[in-house]
Amino acid sequence: FEEGEDIELDDSILEDDEDANSTEIFEEPFSGGGHELTPLSFSGRKVIILDENEEQREVVAEYLQQRNGLDVYTVDCIDDFWSYVNDGDCDLAVVSWNIEGNNAVHLLDSLVQQKPELLCIVLSGPVSLEERLQALNMGAADFISRPTHISAVSQSVLTHLYLSDQGRAVDI
């Protein structure tokens, strides 16, 4: 894959792991720290997705809504992203590393300055280790390289919401 190359997503991924996040798999929910965790433990929490690729953006949104009950808002440009983040009570952002012809360095820097409590997970096609580390050092909660299975994005979102609720961050 070349940097910036679109990665095709197959809509069948929503069916491939139909039971992956089903509470029916477990006889009892996971109990950690006095809390019983299920895939719907964070139902109603607000997530914004910023990605110029409509298909990828909508597939991630649909998965997070259907599997985890999250309230997901999607945008394709930085101006719309800031409008939502500044007007709403947002818990987490999932952003594409390559947005509007640039990497998301400026966006991450602005997020850390203006909304330090907002968790940010970065999605990207193949990039250098330096770029990945740059994003993490700037405050990204996670950096996920595409192609990836959609459940990996869901797991990262749920993990960071859980740790945020516990008042701690993930050590990378």
pLDDT in tens, 3-16: 444 444 444 444 54
Q: Which residue has the higher pLDDT, 22 or 97?
A: 97
d(CA 162, CA 36): 11
pLDDT digits (tens, 9 = 90+) for 31-81: 455 567 788 888 889 999 999 999 999 999 999 999 999 999 999 999 999
d(CA 75, CA 131): 23
The number of CA neighbours under 13 Å toward the Cβ of 148 is 18
β-bridge partners, 46: 71
Q: What angle do helix axes 78-87 and 105-114 make, rounded to 10 degrees?
A: 10
β-bridge partners, 30: 37
**CA-closest candidate to residue 94, choices 125, 118, 128, 67:** 118
**CA-closest candidate to residue 1, choices 148, 128, 126, 102:** 126
| Token representation of residue 99 | 């947005």
Range of weakest confidence among 118-122, 143-147, 167-171? 167-171
The pLDDT score that the predictor gives to residue 7 is 44
| Strand-pair category, 30-32 with 35-37 | antiparallel
d(CA 156, CA 98): 19
**Number of other residues whose CB lies within 10 A of the CB of residue 95:** 24
Burial class (CB in 10 A: 0-12, 13-18, 19+), 9: middle
